[in-house]
Amino acid sequence: MARIVVVGGGIGGLATALFLAPRGHDVTILDRDPADLPSGPDDAWARWPRRGVPQLRHIHLFNARGRNVLREEAPAVLDALHAAGAGRIQLGGPDDEELVRLTCRRTTYEMVLRRAVLEDSRVRFVGDTTVAGLVADGARVTGVRTADGVEWAADLVVDASGRRSQAGLWMAALGLPAPERDEDTEGSVAYTRWYQLRVEPESALVRADLGYAAGVVAPADGGMFCVTFGCLPGDPVMARLRDSAAFDAAVAATPALAVWTDPDRATCVTGVLSMADRNNRMVRLAPGLAGIVLLGDAAMCTNPGYGRGVGLALFHARALAGVLAGVGEDPAAVTPAFEDVTRTELEPWYHAAVAGDRVRRTIGRRLVAGERWESIGAAGDDPEVRFARGAPHATERDPVVRRAMHRSFQLLDPPASYWGNEDIRARVDAVWRELESDPPPPAGPDHETMGRLLAD
């Protein structure tokens, strides 16, 4: 049995406790926020103070891989999510239980996981406790130190403190070799408003691609849904979406979104939430360290627009259980073995996100610069731009492409099975060659028109 101290009780920290405690490990979670439990989904949404998770009330969709990990590791938690109102989007056939996406508010999801952890007498969850540094013996981390100077000794420290992890600084403070960071510095900006349905809830996911931005309708629990625009950083037109009236104008001009927000159908219940970040980041621990692992966003985060973070954090937590079972509890063996898992299983998603974002930014910037929609991806254009233009149409028309896309986007198959697959590329190309001379129109106004609409 290993004595494990987890820094952070978000998704990755909670999953670590849920998967490791039943295997006999002694797990303590330290979180900077209070350890309270909301009384239900609406209470969590309305008042849960989670300053450590700034994305808590932003759009969250829960991918199939994460759902499958829960189904296998903690089926009672999956049942509790549905009992709390989580819906499902069946992406495969009616009998395909593997390819199912979960829909609910992030507050509901995290509340259900936290309740399961708090009810498990084998786990200690200590709130209002900010970790401020590590304790080490040479290159072996032996615990953490909190902001009020208390030391917590551990056989293994799991840094699950999220996208703002300070692990690199903590290591530097002890003279330990710094982790290597890869970062895609451009990022993106998301603008979101939440709505309450007046009609029977639906579980469809709508995506409206404008080329220079993408609008999404994401259903959630409690008859709520949100509309989110993912935009280029520095786009002065879409930056106006911070203003509620401009946001409403952009929705009204995008038919697939407007149908959802019709006042007969839904009432808007929030102002505009915005969040900008450098999205894609990968952190690799220096060789020779022991007694610490980076888990979830602390190890890697990708553009939220891909909806991968929660599923990867759950997968990562289960992989840690596997590593502890496989190499034993020797801290000198656990750290490199877990780094290997991160390199093999998570890192390909980082590279896929960087490559995907690069193409999307290229397309977006060309449209912002005034290039016509029809010329993007025309014959002779960059093959990646052509693939990105053709893929949404190919997924509608070719079931083989649709399935490969879903399985890859839902993290069931590696990125190479879709983006790197020659057969899929040929199929997308075939569909796009038929459409490119007269491409289907974008899902809403061009950038110049949007600029005029949002200025009014």
Ligand X SMILES: Cc1cc2nc3c(=O)[nH]c(=O)nc-3n(C[C@H](O)[C@H](O)[C@H](O)COP(=O)(O)OP(=O)(O)OC[C@H]3O[C@@H](n4cnc5c(N)ncnc54)[C@H](O)[C@@H]3O)c2cc1C
**Interaction site with ligand X (CB under 6 A):** 7-13, 30-33, 52-53, 55, 58-61, 63, 130-131, 160-162, 190, 275, 277, 296-298, 301, 304, 307-311, 313
What's the Cα-to-Cα distance from 37 to each of 141, 168, 319, rounded to whole Å? 31, 31, 27
| Sequence letter at residue 118 | L
Q: How far is the CB of 344 from ligand X (least distance, A)?
A: 19
Q: Where are the alpha helices (DSSP H) in 194-308?
A: 244-252, 255-261
Q: How far is the CB of 296 from ligand X (least distance, A)?
A: 3
Which residue's CB is nearer to ligand X, number 237 or number 346?
A: 346
Rounded Cα gap, residues 429 and 384, in angstroms: 11
Rounded Cα gap, residues 213 and 246, in angstroms: 15
Q: How far is the CB of 309 from ligand X (least distance, A)?
A: 2
Which residue's CB is nearer to ligand X, number 1 or number 153?
A: 153
Q: How far is the CB of 423 from ligand X (least distance, A)?
A: 28
Q: How far is the CB of 218 from ligand X (least distance, A)?
A: 7
Which residue's CB is nearer to ligand X, number 315 or number 432?
A: 315
Which residue's CB is nearer to ligand X, number 98 or number 398?
A: 98
Which residue's CB is nearer to ligand X, number 272 or number 378?
A: 272
Within 13 Å and on the Cβ side, how many CA atoms surround 86? 27
Which residue's CB is nearer to ligand X, number 298 or number 431?
A: 298
What φ, ψ does residue 194 adopt, rounded to 5°? Answer: -105, 150
Which residue's CB is nearer to ligand X, number 8 or number 41?
A: 8
SS (H, E, C) 109-139: HHHHHHHHHHCCCCEEEECCCCEEEEEEECC
Residue 368 contacts by C-beta under 8 Å, 6 or more apart in sequence?
212, 232, 235, 237, 447
Bridge partners for 377 per DSSP: none
SS percent in the chain: helix, strand, coil, step 5:
45, 20, 35
Which residue's CB is nearer to ligand X, number 173 or number 378?
A: 173
Angle (CA) 219 220 226, round 5°: 60
Start-to-end C-alpha separation, the chain: 64
For residue 28, give both structure tokens. Answer: 């303590």
Report helix, strand or coil for 380: coil
Q: How far is the CB of 113 from ligand X (least distance, A)?
A: 10
> CB–CB of 29/19 below 8 Å?
no
For residue 29, give both structure tokens. Answer: 């979670």
Q: How far is the CB of 263 from ligand X (least distance, A)?
A: 27
Q: How far is the CB of 324 from ligand X (least distance, A)?
A: 18
